[in-house]
């Protein structure tokens, strides 16, 4: 009978310690919050990357237009110089 009581007391004590430990893990585990933060940062970076790509494409088109305009104006200037002599 005494062995049964000590066995039950040991079981209850172990159960209580495990329950206390599980509660601490649940309250102090910030893994889900950290994962959510990382996902949020990745989404923000993807958005910034898309914005940068759009800006680069716009600048590329502006540069191509400027080069073409400079080429046309250079040809016109050379043609005017040659014809006016």
Read off the pLDDT of residues 44-58 as tens digits, 9 standing for 90 and up: 999 999 999 999 999
Share of the chain above pLDDT 70, in %: 92
User: What's the confidence (pLDDT) of residue 84?
Assistant: 86
Separation in Å, CA 84 to CA 6, 70, 71? 116, 21, 20
The whole-angstrom separation of Cα 84 and Cα 78 is: 10
Average pLDDT over residues 28-36: 79
This prediction's pTM? 0.54
User: What's the confidence (pLDDT) of residue 69?
Assistant: 97
Q: Up-side HSE of residue 45: CA atoms within 13 Å toward CB?
A: 6
pLDDT in tens, 66-81: 999 999 999 999 999 9
User: What's the confidence (pLDDT) of residue 29?
Assistant: 63
């Amino acid at each position: 009978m005494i062995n049964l009581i000590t066995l039950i007391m040991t079981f209850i004590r172990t159960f209580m310690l495990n329950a206390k430990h599980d509660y601490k893990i649940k309250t102090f585990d910030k893994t889900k919050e950290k994962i959510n933060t990382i996902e949020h940062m990745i989404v923000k970076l993807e958005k910034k990357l898309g914005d940068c790509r759009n800006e680069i494409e716009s600048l590329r088109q502006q540069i191509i237009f400027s080069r073409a305009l400079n080429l046309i104006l250079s040809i016109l200037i050379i043609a005017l110089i040659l014809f006016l002599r």
